[in-house]
Chains A and B, each alone.
Chain A
Amino acid sequence: KNEVEQSPQNLTAQEGEFITINCSYSVGISALHWLQQHPGGGIVSLFMLSSGKKKHGRLIATINIQEKHSSLHITASHPRDSAVYICAASRPISSGSARQLTFGSGTQLTVLP
């Protein structure tokens, strides 16, 4: 079992739909990152959160530490939102303070006009 699981793997939506991408993790984390990867390959950091909820424009990210679960929501989706969305858990590597990101496999989102 992967330490970070994402669902769904693929998601196709109509423009304007509300979209939810889920991320579950099985390890203790210090933070959860949501990343967006465009078709050209570039990666953009969307959110980093360790508790509660964050909002940026039409994007909302939530995390439930007790349930080890995070969600990324996109309201009023648009074709330009089409991309791969990746969650990554920042977790300790050893007993020290070093951390590493462990990535989910990504969700390919396609928003149709």
Chain B
Amino acid sequence: DSGVTQTPKHLITATGQRVTLRCSPRSGDLSVYWYQQSLDQGLQFLIQYYNGEERAKGNILERFSAQQFPDLHSELNLSSLELGDSALYFCASSVGFSGRDEQFFGPGTRLTVL
């Protein structure tokens, strides 16, 4: 158990809908990262937050947004869903933001868009 929690574990929805994925980092970690893992693209970095502020942005679509709340949990919002958004979404947490810290991964949320 990494100490990172993600809910829900599974999510099935329809095209055009909007969903919210939730992540709680390990106690004491200030950074939260979101990743997408799809069959054709593999693992990709989406976005990073550090202590409530956006720190780094990767291949995140404009239809997707995220935030980190004062209690450090984070939410990833996916809207106008398309079939191609079906994937495993992981969050990870670390103590710092430098990229030199070990990242601890949550169990993932499997999103299926029908």
Contact = CB atoms under 8 A, between A and B. Distances in A.
B42 interface: yes
Contacts of B88: 41
A45 B105 contact: yes
Interface in B14-66: 33, 35, 42-45, 48, 55-58
A78 interface: no
Given A99-B98, A100-B99, A105 B90 contact: no
Interface residues of B, number: 27
A101 interface: yes
B7 interface: no
A102 B45 contact: yes
Chain B contact surface mostly? strand
B105 A43 contact: yes
Interface of B: 2, 33, 35, 42-45, 48, 55-58, 88, 90, 92, 97-105, 107-108, 110
A31 B44 CA distance: 17
A101 B45 contact: yes
A88 B110 CA distance: 21
A42 B108 contact: yes
A57 to B, nearest CB: 17
A42 B103 CA distance: 13
Interface stretch (A14-22, A59-67, A69-77, A90-98): A90-98
14 contacts: A30-B99, A33-B102, A35-B105, A41-B110, A45-B103, A48-B103, A97-B97, A98-B48, A98-B56, A99-B56, A101-B33, A101-B99, A103-B42, A105-B42
A86 interface: yes
A91 B56 CA distance: 11
